[in-house]
Amino acid sequence: MALRSIKRMALALLVCGVGFSPSTGADAAEPIRIGAVLPFSGGVELYGQQAKLGLDLAAREINAAGGVLGRPIEVIYADDKTRPPSAEDAMRKLIADGVVAVVGPITSANLNAIVPIAENLKTPLLYATNYEGGKCSRYVFSFSTVPNQDMGQLLPYMNQTFGNTYFLLGADRVWPHQMFDIAKPLIEKLGGKIVGTQYTLGTETDFTPLIAQVAAAKPKVLLFALKGDGIDFIRQADEQGLFRETTVAFLGLSEIDLGIFRGKGQNMYTAVPSVATSDDPAIKAFVGKVRSEAGADVLVSNYVMTHYNTLIALKAAIEKAGKVDKEAIIDALAGLVFASPTGPVTIDQNHYATMNMFIAKTQGSELVTVRALGQIAPQPGCKLADR
């Protein structure tokens, strides 16, 4: 090739930014691929988008600091469409594509669908949504709350503060049924009384008959486990006066839900692993970093925090193991203590997380802290040795 042609090619490559710019060792190394099975369609995509905010922030921070063992991480996203068959397909494809771990999903139904795949294909699955628990597996790790950490803290507060009669209202899905099964003995132990239980079909648009049913039972506390298609119950119930005598204990409430209430549903209570309005400097800094990338008005819920934590933990586990190997990562995750913006998080030997918890309430368009509960250890209702 003529010298002049070589020079022209070199100039073209420089203009295009290909091959000649200096790079770090992490940039030059093969990326560590991590899968994410999340809903970006199908009804709960708001939560999938929140999860992605946390994962994207963690990936940027890790790569900016040199990656993991000198290698960058790359998150590969797959839409589970809020449907178990789609989640199964996404899980299999990601593992076939060589991911070292998978984060997700959001719904319990999709989790139940992909756990057997994680186990059969021996791939760690990092679940960062509030969870009913009851399952312990070598290949599954929980990074959010189980019932004793959220409902187990919320019910005593509600019982003492507002009264001991309860109406249980949830969607006819896996998570509400299992949460209410756990709630019933807790309420009984508190000396409370359940005056009604109802599950919605997900097709309701006018909740007036259901609101009348709850009002007739005269509960002091409405234990509420409706998400997605049922959450407009809150606005309608507020407008019809239900909350003058009844206070909502909202399971799984986060900042991402608040816009749906259109200013209604004030002074509803929940228990969460982070509150975006906290004055804690570390949480304020975390929220600020999310908003600097995603926009000043973006909502930052605990879903952002818990999914962020999955990659921080995964980085620490790989470094502890000293190699990128699925079985070694699993061994390193068990017993791991890592730093989170809300304080230290410990993954126990059953693969559940001890973390700081907070009781919060709705105020205006935000959640605000009512009480900091400190570190709450999980009681998952299973032991890894059982499997």
pLDDT digits (tens, 9 = 90+) for 274-313: 999 999 999 999 999 999 999 999 999 999 999 999 999 9
Same domain? 48 vs 137: yes
Same domain? 243 vs 207: yes
Higher pLDDT, 332 or 365: 332
Token pair recorded at residue 85: 């068959």
What percent of the chain shows pLDDT beyond 90? 84
Segment 224-228 shows an average pLDDT of: 82
* Domain range enclosing 239: 151-251
- Is 16 a residue whose pLDDT tops 50? no
Domain count, the chain: 2
Residue 17's pLDDT is 33
Domain membership flag for residue 365: no
194: domain CATH number is: 3.40.50.2300
Same domain? 141 vs 283: yes
Same domain? 100 vs 160: no
Domain membership flag for residue 22: no
Helices (H), the chain: 3-16, 25-28, 45-64, 84-96, 108-120, 151-161, 174-189, 208-217, 233-239, 281-294, 302-321, 326-333
Q: Residue 75 to residues 221, 308, 319: CA-CA distances in angstroms?
A: 42, 12, 18
Segment 256-280 shows an average pLDDT of: 92
* CB atoms closer than 10 angstroms to residue 367: 28
Residue 33's pLDDT is 98
Same domain? 246 vs 168: yes
